Structure 1
């Protein structure tokens, strides 16, 4: 294979991977913003305090990054301003490699979100993936003089169209909800079922005796063995949901949420909760009074804050507390609405798309 063929294959591989990664995250820019906020928190504590100043702009930065991944990947394949494109991709992969190395080495952010929620990679897997990409982009950079210098007009037009489309899709996903939900709380999922192992968990027991290491499928009855560790043999059977909980001042209310018909209004941060459609939410709450459904306001806040909000807006609903990370995972809107029937997610709504009471009740027929 000659040099030009190798360069073309590298362009396809690098560009295709950037497009794939970008499209998954264009589907959910809010998820990428949440991940960036985690990094900014870690960096502000470990490196320099100024990183905290980036948190309010996380969604804008996330949107720019995911759109850039798609557009630059396409530009690389189509041959649009290749030298500048390779420079941009090189800087981007250096940034990503730093993030994934930091996650892996210091065990700070255990999921980099490289492929959103669609493909989960460990921090080290993410880092190795970025190293491979860095090597390929470096090869393109070294031999950039051998790449075509002229940009076909149709390719430039295609790049502009991809910019407009990907930006439009990202904005739509922010103002509504992700087109495709890859999370453990997607429509049709039974939350209580996802909280249980999909199969009996199997372990290997690592023991020591006389300086030798032994492995057993069952814990040995011979007390002369010294326990070393217990290794899970089928991690794929672990519960997909391990941290869901809801509670109030009285007690845990998780099982209550899984019983019967529930309309759950969620807020991951009450101080940042949008009031743009509060009137529509209030109308929904009032319209469901007396209906065979429990309306619940579940927020990552103190019970006092929740009760004060309910009193201020005259909502006669049940107020529950929840973990902020869990609420963000369930709902990419603040506030948002989740329809539950016996613990099964029937539908989720952004507050911009607050449904009518009649539409909600149709889910319980």
Structure 2
């Protein structure tokens, strides 16, 4: 295979992977921003305090990154400004490789978000993936002078169009909800079912005796063995949801949430909650009073803060506490609305798309 053919294959592989990764995250830039906030928190504590100042800009930085992934991938494949494109990709992959190595080695951020929620990779898997990309991009960088300098006008126009479309899609996903929901709380999912293993969990037990290591399918009754570790053999059977909880001063209220018809208004942070459509949510809750549905407000806040908020808004609903990470996973809006029927997610709404009461009631028919 000639050098030019090898370079073309590398361009296609690298560009295709960047486009794939970018498109998944353009679909959910809020999820990317949440992941960036995690990194900024870690870096501000471990490296330098100034990283905390990036947190308020996490969404904007996330949009730039995910759009850049898509556009640079397209430019690499189409041959647009290849030398500059390879430089940009090299800097980007160095940045990503640092993030994934830091996550893996120090076990700080256990999910890098490389492919959003669509494909979950362990920190080390993410790092090895970036190493492979780094090698391929390094080859392109080394031979960048052999890459074509000119590109056809249609390729330039296509790259600009991709930039515009990617940005519009990202903004749309922020102002509404992701086009495709890859999370465990997507429409049609039974939350209580997803909280259970899909099959009986099977473990093997690693034991030591006399300097030798033994593996057993059942814990040995012989007390002369020394326990080393317990290894799960079918991790794919683990519950898809392991952290859902809703509670108040009376204790856990998850069973209440999963019983019957529920309309739940969710907030991951009361101090940062948008008030742009609270009047529409108030109208929805008022119209649903007396209907065969329980109205709930679930927020990552203290019970006192929740009660004060409900009193201020004059909402006659049940107030429950929840974990901020769980709420952010369920809903990419603050506030947002989730409709449940016997624990099954019927529909989710961004506050910009607050529905009419009749639309919600039709979901229970």
Q: 1:158-169 residue pairs with structure 2 within 5 A?
A: 158-169=158-169
- Residue 151 of structure 1 deviates from its aligned partner by 1.6
- Asked if 1:121 is matched to 2:117, the reply is no
Give the ranges of 4+ consecutive aligned residues of structure 1 lying more than 3 Å apart after TM superposition. Answer: none
- Residue 226 of structure 1 deviates from its aligned partner by 1.3
Which residue pairs with 1:107 in the alignment? 107
Which residue pairs with 2:93 in the alignment? 93
Which residue pairs with 2:334 in the alignment? 334
Which residue pairs with 1:19 in the alignment? 19
TM-score between both structures, scaled by the size of structure 2: 1.00
- Structure 1: distance between partners of 2:19 and 2:3: 24
- Structure 2: distance between partners of 1:260 and 1:189: 15
Summarize deviations over 1:56-98 as a string: whole Å, max 9, x none.
Answer: 0000000000000000000000000000000000111011001
User: Is the partner of 1:21 in helix, strand or coil?
Assistant: helix
Which residue pairs with 1:152 in the alignment? 152
User: Is the partner of 2:45 in helix, strand or coil?
Assistant: helix
Which residue pairs with 1:184 in the alignment? 184
- Structure 2: distance between partners of 1:80 and 1:227: 59
- Structure 1: distance between partners of 2:119 and 2:112: 11
- Asked if 1:75 is matched to 2:80, the reply is no
Summarize deviations over 1:196-219 as a string: whole Å, max 9, x none.
Answer: 000000000111111111100011
Which residue pairs with 1:55 in the alignment? 55
Which residue pairs with 1:135 in the alignment? 135
- Residue 275 of structure 1 deviates from its aligned partner by 0.3
Which residue pairs with 1:212 in the alignment? 212
- Residue 326 of structure 1 deviates from its aligned partner by 0.2
- Residue 186 of structure 1 deviates from its aligned partner by 0.3
- Structure 2: distance between partners of 1:234 and 1:304: 43
- When the two chains are superposed, the root-mean-square deviation of aligned CA atoms in Å is 0.5
Which residue pairs with 1:238 in the alignment? 238
Which residue pairs with 2:278 in the alignment? 278
- Structure 1: distance between partners of 2:220 and 2:138: 53
Summarize deviations over 1:140-194 as a string: whole Å, max 9, x none.
Answer: 0110111101121110000000000000100000000000000000000000000
- Residue 257 of structure 1 deviates from its aligned partner by 0.2
User: Is the partner of 1:215 in helix, strand or coil?
Assistant: strand
- Structure 1: distance between partners of 2:344 and 2:186: 10
- Structure 2: distance between partners of 1:133 and 1:227: 40
- Structure 2: distance between partners of 1:345 and 1:168: 28
Which residue pairs with 2:224 in the alignment? 224
- Structure 2: distance between partners of 1:236 and 1:182: 17
Summarize deviations over 1:232-268 as a string: whole Å, max 9, x none.
Answer: 0000000000000000011110110000000000000
Which residue pairs with 2:173 in the alignment? 173
Which residue pairs with 1:356 in the alignment? 356
- Structure 1: distance between partners of 2:238 and 2:313: 41
Unaligned runs of 5+ in 1: none
